[in-house]
Amino acid sequence: MKIALLLILSALPLVVGVGVLAYLMSSARRKDEADPEARERERRAGQLAYAGALAGGLVHEIKNPLNSLSLNLQLLAEEWANAETPEERRALKRIQMLLAETNRLAGTLDDFLGFARGQPLRPAPCDVNRLIEEVAAFIAPELESKQVELRKCLEPLPACTLDGNLIRQALLNLLLNAKEAMEEGRPREIILRSGAADGWLRIDVIDTGRGIPPENMEKIFEAFYSTRKGGTGLGLPTARRIVEQHEGRLLVHSEPGKGSCFALVVPVAPRRAPAGQKPKEART
C-alpha cells in the first residue's frame, strides 16, 4: 500500500503538467486563427508548464548526489591545500577543476528550474529609470573590467506598474548578453535607452558587438542555445518570458559586424494591448 501511494504521489507532477498542457492547448485552439503570435505564446506556455511540472523532481534527483559530490571535493581540496610535490599539486588542480564543474552544473540546474517554473508576477508602482540606473551601477565594474563603455540616454517616463524585480532580471540578462557579444579590435560600447509612447514603455539595450547572423535569429530565444562556451543559453529565453508575462514583447534588430538592439517593450500598466496595436520593431 505504501509503495502504491508513493508511486501515485510521485506521478502527480506529471499528471498536473499534462493536465495544464491539455488545457492550454485546447485554449489555444479557440484563439483567433489570425493571431499567430498569440498561438505561439500559448504553445510556449504549454511547453513551460509541462517542463515545470517535471523539472522539480528531476532537479531534486540530480542535485542531491551533486551536492554530496561537491562537499566531498571541497573536503579533498582542503586536505590537499598544502600540496608540496608536483604530483600533489597536479592532483589538487584536478580536484579544483572537478569542484568548479560541479558548482557550474548546480548553477545550471538552478537556472533551468527557475526558467521552467517561472516566477509569479507581482506588479507594483515602479520608477523604471531609477531601476535602470541601479542595474547599470551593478554591472558597471564588470563592464569596465572588459573595457566596455556604458552610456545611458534616459527620457522622462510616466508612472509605471511593473514587477520591478523581474524587469531588473530581464534587463541584466540583456546587458550580460551584450557584454558577451563584444569582440577584440572593435569599439566596445553599450547604450541603455528608455522612452515611452502610446501607453508603452521601452528599454533599448544597444551594443556594438559581433551581431547575430540571420540563420541564428530564430534560435537565440531557444532554451540552452548558446554560442558562448560555458553559457547556459537561458538568459534571453528568461528575459523574453518575463517580458511576455508583462503582456509585452522582446524585439531584436541585428546586423552582423555592426551590433544588435534588444528592445524590452511592455505596457506602462498591466493590460491587454488593443486589437491591432503592437509595439514598433526594434531599431538601432
Number of alpha carbons in the 13 Å side-chain half-sphere of residue 107? 12
My answer on whether 139 and 263 are in the same domain is: yes
My answer on whether 17 and 56 are in the same domain is: yes
pLDDT at residue 154, rounded to an integer: 94
> Whole-prediction pTM value?
0.63
My answer on whether 172 and 87 are in the same domain is: no
pLDDT at residue 51, rounded to an integer: 58
pLDDT at residue 206, rounded to an integer: 95
My answer on whether 36 and 109 are in the same domain is: yes
Query: HEC profile for 134-165?
Result: HHHHHHHHHHHHCCCEEEEEECCCCCEEECHH
pLDDT at residue 7, rounded to an integer: 32
Whether 121 has a pLDDT exceeding 70, the answer reads yes
Computed from CA positions of residues 104, 107, 113, 118, in that sequence, does the dihedral angle turn out positive or negative? negative
At 147, which CATH number?
3.30.565.10
My answer on whether 59 and 187 are in the same domain is: no
Least reliable range by pLDDT among 14-23, 33-42, 195-204, 233-242: 14-23
Least reliable range by pLDDT among 32-36, 74-78, 170-174, 227-231: 32-36
Q: Which domain holds residue 8?
A: 2-117
Q: What's the longest Cα–Cα distance across the chain?
A: 72
Whether 31 has a pLDDT exceeding 70, the answer reads no
pLDDT tier, 241 (very low <50, low <70, confident <90, very high otherwise): confident
Whether 1 has a pLDDT exceeding 50, the answer reads no
Contact predicate 220/236, CB 8 Å: yes
Nearest-angstrom CA–CA distance, 7 and 27: 30
Whether 29 has a pLDDT exceeding 50, the answer reads no
pLDDT tier, 207 (very low <50, low <70, confident <90, very high otherwise): very high
Q: Closest Cα to residue 168, out of 196, 127, 209, 140?
A: 127
Q: Could you tell me if residue 280 is inside a domain? A: no
pLDDT at residue 53, rounded to an integer: 56
The residue with greater pLDDT, 271 or 129, is 129
pLDDT at residue 45, rounded to an integer: 60
Q: Could you tell me if residue 284 is inside a domain? A: no
Of 27-36, 77-86, 113-122, which one has max mean pLDDT?
77-86
